[in-house]
Amino acid sequence: MTLLDAAPDAAPRAATVAPLAPAARLLPSLAAVYRAQLARAKVARIPLLFVATFQSLGILVMMRGVVDPGDNPSAHAVVAGSSVLVVAFVALNLLSQYFGRLRADGGLDHYATLPVPPASVVLGAAAAYASFTLPGALVTAGVGAVLFQLPLAHLWVLLAVVPLAGAALAGLGATCGLLAPRQEIATLLGQLGMSAALLLGVLPVAHLPGPVQWLRDLLPSTYGVEAFARTFTAAPDWAAVGGDLAVCGVAGLLSLSLATWAYRRVAVRP
């Protein structure tokens, strides 16, 4: 066979293109990002838990001097709000700083080159940071219940409150960090957000002015606070608890969707 005879058959073989690898699916990508972020966050886990829990316990002790213990709405609000504040410190404040630093250092460029959906990056980081909040929230709730003479029977409701409120606050924190033009502004927004969670979530709602109560309704974590606070009564209204948790869940879905949009907007795609 001559070279000329082999040429017609060689051309079709050279034109054959290997099929591309299938695109990464959301759940496997989310699990991979979560494991990577969890391993990174483990380095700072003990200081993280200590600071978040210590400040909430300090607020409980401070409020004990101005709020009467026992079965009253003010005591319910203080204990529930302090417990959710642990989540706000991590999911809102620290996550805003993390994404702000990631954008400033060019870390988003690395994630943009990976074949993973944008939602998996946001959800994975948010879930990793929020995973450290449950022990601190349980400790704060237990100490607060003893300090304010409230029942301990329904602390298990935090198993629903923490992930739902954490998702809502993590989405807001990630959005602040991603959209802030500078890292310093992202840190400032995270601090302001945590201060809002402190003032609007811990202080008894009956003592707040009308316009501040309207602002409180806009903060998604307050619905988690309300759901947990309702369980300290002698006969909890479980329908109202479920309604507050549902609102908190919807707010979490919306805030995480907003964070995913913010990631798409700022991430550099090749």
pLDDT in tens, 5-47: 444 444 444 445 444 445 567 677 777 777 877 776 666 566 7
**Domain count for the chain:** 1
In a domain, 68, yes or no: yes
What gap in Å lies between CA 205 and CA 159, rounded to an integer? Answer: 24
In a domain, 6, yes or no: no
Q: Within 25-106, where are the H helices? A: 26-41, 45-64, 73-87, 95-104
DSSP string covering 213-243: HHHHHH-THHHHHHHHHHTTSSS--HHHHHH
In a domain, 12, yes or no: no
Longest pairwise C-alpha distance within the chain: 100
Percent of the chain topping pLDDT 90: 21
In which domain, by residue range, is 66 found? 27-266
pLDDT digit string, tens, across residues 256-269: 889 888 888 887 54
In a domain, 22, yes or no: no
Percent of the chain topping pLDDT 70: 87
Neighbours of 22 (CB within 10 A): 7
Taking the alpha carbons of 190, 33, 168, 76 in that order, is the dihedral positive or negative? negative
pTM: 0.82
Considering only CA atoms, which of 22, 31, 177 is closest in space to residue 105? 177
What gap in Å lies between CA 185 and CA 191, rounded to an integer? Answer: 10
In a domain, 262, yes or no: yes
pLDDT digit string, tens, across residues 87-135: 888 888 888 888 888 888 877 777 777 777 777 777 887 777 777 788 8
Taking the alpha carbons of 254, 259, 265, 270 in that order, is the dihedral positive or negative? negative
What gap in Å lies between CA 73 and CA 69, rounded to an integer? Answer: 10
In a domain, 13, yes or no: no
Helices (H) and strands (E) in the chain, counts: 13, 0
123: its two tokens: 């959800």
In a domain, 142, yes or no: yes
In a domain, 17, yes or no: no
Question: Which one is predicted more confidently, 201 or 80?
Answer: 80
